[in-house]
Chains A and B, each alone.
Chain A
Amino acid sequence: MRYDVAVIGGGVIGCAIARELSRYHLRAVVIERECEVGLGTSKANSGIIHAGHHGAEGSLKGELEWRGNQMWDALADDLHFGFKRVGDLTCAFDEDQRATLRQIMEQGKRRGVPGLELWGPERIRREEPHLSHDIVEALYAPTAGVVNPYEACFMLAESAVRNGVDLALERTVVGIRPSEKGFEIAAVVGDDATPELIKARFVVDAAGLHADAIADMVEAGGFRIRARKGEEYLLDKRLVGYVKRVIFPCPTPTSKGILVIPTYDGTLMVGPTATWADKDDLATTAEGSAEVFAGARKLAPGISEKDCIAEFAGLRAVSDTEEFILGPSRVAGFVLAAGMQSPALTAAPAVATVVLDALRDDGLELVAKDDFEPGVPAPVRFAELSSAEQRSLVARDPAYARLVCRCEIVTEGEVRDAIDRGARTLDGIKFRTRAGMGRCQGGFCTWGCMELLHERLGIPLTAVTKRGGDSYVAIPRLEGAA
């Protein structure tokens, strides 16, 4: 297959780039080693659209955070993923920290971030009554938001595909060779011995933690990406509404600290830690848990381990300079989107435009399509409909009347739709519909989801996986057992 552009990596960065590319008359492909997009760092993060005032002046991270921040409303309108601007509060416990708040506020104002305010203890207590009384002042930023990052990936990719981009899933890039007309990319499919060849005039390296290895394949690199792990802990919905805004401690030069995050769906999440790790180390730890809950309690003393329902870890792809490595490389036609650590989720839409500029500068002609369709159909969310809407929906299609997930109220119709729109695994269903995300953690709905994957994809129940590869849930009965 011959493409104009191949994007390596289907995280939020790769998906945002793909959707941007799909506006133009060209052939593009996203090559992703997992069986669905967004299953790397892009699903395992804090889900915050940062307000725009955090990053240092003059830094690419800072500038693109703010540019990206302003692009999310339009994206969410077109693509129907969960996004809302809840605002954030950065809390100071002493005079030094108050000085830092002022400095961040000034930096944000100069950048043009609107609505920044300093709140005293009284205002804090009125707006966020569960926060610590030791907080002496807080900086409020109304522009901060929360997003369901996996939904954003799925929808960006779906939009790109609807507008003509190909998805090459379950393909691991193992080599890239420059050729006369661009590049030849060798991608391994599953356990096959001979890799598939994908040809493209331009390559974008959006391979997250492995962006260094990909760049080294054409000697476009010379940088190193290390993994900094962040553990996050999800709390029971008993605490919905406990805080209304994203709560930050005062940042230190190296870290944003442990946050209390009201996720888009309302439940609280606390984290993340920040420790160096191997690139495949997604383990949560007893130390991480202790650090997260101690940090969260400093901000909101009522938070307890007792409410934990799930935990996960994500890996930040960190460059040696801590800065994004973005734009043209020393190899013509090979564009980098590496070192995409926080706030790269926030920055993703802006990163995509920077990448397209770099491709254009390298000679890619971008001719806008007349028939680009910016929207995708909104998925049905039974639980969010009024009773009258629910009644007419189930009258049209009784599949929406059968419940599959009881904690999050997800119907068979929604799970079926998710599969028809690309979910191939239990995680794919979970991150599209929330089935399995609630307090029983799939104890009840896994069965129903397995049956629907079996029916719709025509695969045996024992071939259903949690997230592809060898992550099967059940095996056939053993021969000759009692």
Chain B
Amino acid sequence: MITPKPAQLQPRYDVVVVGGGPAGLAAAVGARESGAERVLVIDREPEAGGILQQCIHPGFGLHHFGEELTGPEYAQRAIEQTLERDVDVLSSAYVLDVASDRRLKVTSRDHGVAFLDAGAVVLAMGARERTRGAIRIPGERPAGVMTAGFAQKLVNLGGMLPGRRAVILGSGDIGLIMARRLVLEGVEVEGVYELMPHANGLNRNLVQCLHDYDIPLHLSTTVVHIDGRERVEKVTVAPVDEAYRPNMAKARDIACDTLLVSIGLIPDNELAHRLGLRLDPVTTGPVVTSTMETTRDGVFACGNVVHIHDLVDYVSQESELAGRGAGAYATGTPTPPDNVRLTPGENVRYCVPPTITTDREHTVYMRVTKPMAPCTLHLGDVYKRPLRYVFPGEMVTLKVRPRFLEGFHGGSLPVSIVPREEGGSA
């Protein structure tokens, strides 16, 4: 499966997309559909598709392609969609810098260090995993402590194993998927430990990856010590109280040679920093408008660079939108600016986009702080919708239709999710 490379780099493109994962590929499609002629996707790997290429399990595409695909299958579809639309894909290349005049500095084996000008830029570099250092797990620093995503790469792309007996810290989706994967590979998975009183991954992963394989999930429990000079020899786990303070009296040692950490993803924003984009302290991604434009003219962002998504399908949808925005910008087609701000209220951590317009339909993605069931989603007092449950591991999506906002004259609308009395009406 080789991604064709453009024979020659052009000095100028209408839209340059940084990152060839599902976000970047969908953005390229969106850009072409909105009239951009020359569109280039740049990816650092030899093959586009991003992290999906190592996600060999099924569960992708139900929403976007209407059927269940594996990660590489989803990636392949996305790549084909771009190639059908004459998008150039430059792989094994790395964008070192984007200047505010949208001149990109790119390094690649094929073209050396080159400069390209872009009518519009889409940032779609994805996310990186939080590591052990970020949560300062006490103990020694042996080999065998690794992120779940790195272990996934070792197993699925490298045909190796991280170890023989693993403990998993964090119930993020990659950790859950890897718990199952390791068991299938003959590795013993002692258990999954989660600091929070609730799991962080998708419900379906809890069922299909842990429950179906009898892997225990220990909530409100964390790793308090790592032992091992060269390779992990044991970890110590302890339950935590409401303030997440470990109860050392109840600490327990687990012999293992591997500790996988699956404690969350962080938008990869090296370029956003270089561009001086305004970042949102909650999502840690760039602040965007309803067309996914950042605080710098003609620079758009989408996918996990903006906020961490639960399903790739939503990444593709959001990114097509960003691509359309970038294409419109590059071709000089104006879009009416946003005129309504959404303010996160009770049990809403953030809304993306944080601002919308009254003239179009918008899909707003949000994350909750805590599980709730049953509950009601309120958009100010202009709209409400009952929800069976909400869960921090799953995004909530809300379609805001222009008719909701007929007669609304204010500037800001609070979005909140509040408990619903059993049997009461929404």
A residues near B (Cβ < 8 Å) are 233-234, 280, 282-286, 288-289, 305, 308-312, 387, 390-391, 394-395, 398, 401-403, 406-407, 409, 411, 439-444, 446-447, 461-462, 465-478, 480-482
Contacts and interface: CB of A to CB of B under 8 A. Distances in A.
22 contacts: A234-B133, A283-B138, A284-B138, A311-B133, A401-B109, A401-B113, A402-B107, A440-B128, A440-B129, A441-B131, A446-B150, A447-B150, A462-B160, A469-B230, A470-B230, A472-B143, A472-B231, A474-B154, A476-B160, A478-B187, A481-B184, A482-B186
Interface of B: 44, 92, 94, 96, 105, 107-109, 112-113, 115, 128-129, 131-134, 136, 138-144, 146-147, 149-150, 153-154, 158-164, 184-187, 224-227, 229-231, 270
Contacts of B230: 465-471
A477 B160 contact: yes
A401 B108 contact: yes
A470 B231 contact: yes
A311 B136 CA distance: 7
B161 A289 contact: no
Contacts of A446: 150
Contacts of B107: 390, 394, 401-403, 411
A469 B229 CA distance: 10
Contacts of A309: 131, 133-134
Contacts of B231: 470-472
A482 B150 contact: no
Given A310-B131, A475-B164, A481-B185, 14 more contacts: A283-B138, A403-B94, A403-B107, A440-B131, A443-B128, A447-B150, A466-B143, A468-B230, A469-B229, A470-B231, A471-B230, A473-B154, A474-B162, A482-B186
B160 A474 contact: yes
Contact of B270 (A391, A406, A462, A469): A406
Contact of B225 (A283, A443, A482): A283
A447 B144 CA distance: 14
A445 to B, nearest CB: 10
Contacts of B186: 478, 480-482
A411 B108 CA distance: 10
Nearest to B182: A481
B112 A444 contact: no
Given A471-B230, A472-B143, A305 B136 contact: yes
A462 B155 CA distance: 12
A395 B112 contact: yes
B163 A441 contact: no
Contacts of A439: 128
A471 B132 contact: no
Given A391-B112, A402-B109, A471-B230, A282 B141 contact: yes
A443 to B, nearest CB: 5
A229 to B, nearest CB: 12
Contacts of A311: 133, 136
Nearest to A479: B186
A238 to B, nearest CB: 8
